Amino acid sequence: MRYQRRPRDDDRLRERLKALAEERRRFGYRRLWVPLRWEGHTVNRKRVYRLYKEERLMVRQRGGRKCAIGVRSPMPGSAKPTLVARLCA
């Protein structure tokens, strides 16, 4: 006697996962798992993660840090002496 694996029907779950990921771009697989459970899919997070990776879904990255363009130059000096310069003189 050996364990007979049952075939999985992931097609409906895959389509719903892709639709939710398109609707909620900032949600990862953990946050997409919750609405799937609300809709009645009895699925655990590991299976959602597997399908999420197989469909090549990912959280959309936000823009990176802005960097300076061009050559840096020193700031021009001020016309008035500063308070520190007046106190030291």
pLDDT of residue 1: 85
Q: 53, 23 in Cβ contact below 8 A? A: no
pTM: 0.63
What are 27-77's pLDDT values in tens digits? 999 999 999 999 998 899 999 999 999 999 998 888 888 777 777 777 776
What single letter denotes the amino acid at residue 38?
A: W
The CA-CA-CA angle for residues 34, 27, 25, to 5°, reads 130
pLDDT of residue 33: 94
Question: What confidence tier does 83 reach under pLDDT thresholds 50, 70, 90?
Answer: low
pLDDT of residue 56: 93
How many angstroms separate the CA atoms of 19 and 80, rounded?
Answer: 62
Q: Which is more confidently placed, 8 or 50?
A: 50
